[in-house]
Structure 1
Amino acid sequence: MMHCPHLTHDNQCEVAKQMAGCSVRTTPTACNACQNESNPRAINVVTIGMALVNKKRRKQDVAELQAMLRNYMPDEDPLPQTLKISNYRPGPGNELKKMIAWFAKSSESCNCETRVDTMNDWGAEGCRRNIDTITEWLLEEAQARGLPHGRFTATIARSLVKTAIRKYERKFPEGAPEPDQDDPEDELDR
């Protein structure tokens, strides 16, 4: 993650937290998007979107945040992007992604985001059952990037996966919160 005065040591966005009235975990992708906004590291489309997603997950009223979001949106018609709840969905895949983000960035040629989503879909138990597959994914990416990828690296990769699973379980002992059932496409239109 990047340096931001509103980012806590446990990846909480204080700006979004204040708007949502609850803790709001962020991701490197969201932090980068926030940094690229015209009002970075403050109230902007990204931080409002994260707050809105978290309030919606908790089945709280989001009308005020939706109105605020409309005020921060550019005057374009139609709006080209959507805020997807899946971008902020917690899971073992996102935990692993955060752990290795300091040395392994996603690229256009990798399947990293798809694999993160797959791990998140599997959840903790599914990742344990598929730990050999996940380890192979990590070794495959290491080899493609010219990084070490031998037996010793496999042991480290397996350990990283186990740690990501444990971190996810500590943060969400009851499992990840589910988005609202009435949200068809699992998206909030911007």
Structure 2
Amino acid sequence: AYPSKPKPSAKPRLTKVEDVGHGPGTELKALLKRVGIVASPGCSCNTRAKLMDANELKEPGWCEKNLETICDWLQEEATKRKLPFVRMAAKILVRQAIRNARKKGQ
């Protein structure tokens, strides 16, 4: 028979991307918010932040391995919003978000 409750040490099983709620994507959103950049209706920011969080949880190091893709997402959104984009600054921001998430144990 199966235990009715999961072991406390067991990682939670993801059923949906929305299940996470913390991690590098969430931290990146927080950093962007500090400079006045927030998700707008119709943008893919929230979905991509959740994707970053979920993938990092399933495969630690995913965000670092996919840094260029994440920067492409940021550039795509900056272009849509007619905001200036500096790739090196985006990389620094993403790496800081990863560090912040790790400090919080996410």
Q: TM-score, normalised by structure 2?
A: 0.74
Could you tell me how far apart the structure 1 residues matched to 2:33 and 2:79 are?
Answer: 17
Mapped pair 1:104 → 2:60: no
- Identify which of 47, 63, 68 aligns with 1:114: 47
Could you tell me how far apart the structure 2 residues matched to 1:140 and 1:105 are?
Answer: 15
State the secondary structure of the residue aligned to 2:84: coil
Q: Which has the larger radius of gyration?
A: 1
Shift of 1:109: 2.2
Could you tell me how far apart the structure 2 residues matched to 1:101 and 1:109 are?
Answer: 17
More helix by share: 2
Q: Which runs of 5+ in 1 are unaligned?
A: 1-58, 60-85, 177-190
Mapped pair 1:165 → 2:98: yes
Q: TM-score, normalised by structure 1?
A: 0.42
Could you tell me how far apart the structure 2 residues matched to 1:143 and 1:91 are?
Answer: 25
Q: Give CA-to-partner distance per residue, 1:91-145, whole Å, 9 cap, x none.
A: 1000000000132111112101110011001215000011000001111111111
Bigger RCO (CA 8 Å, 6+ sep):
2
Could you tell me how far apart the structure 1 residues matched to 2:54 and 2:66 are?
Answer: 12
Instruction: Give, as a single letter, the amino acid of the residue that structure 2 aligns with 1:121.
Output: A
The alignment yields a C-alpha RMSD, in angstroms, of: 1.7
- Identify which of 13, 21, 25 aligns with 1:93: 25
Number of the residue aligned with 2:78: 142
Q: Which runs of 5+ in 2 are unaligned?
A: 1-7, 9-17
Could you tell me how far apart the structure 1 residues matched to 2:20 and 2:68 are?
Answer: 26
Between Structure 1 and Structure 2, how many residues are aligned? 86
Alignment of 1:121-132 (within 5 A): 121-123=54-56, 124-132=60-68
Could you tell me how far apart the structure 2 residues matched to 1:145 and 1:89 are?
Answer: 25
State the secondary structure of the residue aligned to 1:93: helix
Regions of 4+ moved over 4 Å = none
Is residue 22–residue 53 contact of structure 2 (8 Å, CA) maintained in 1? Answer: yes
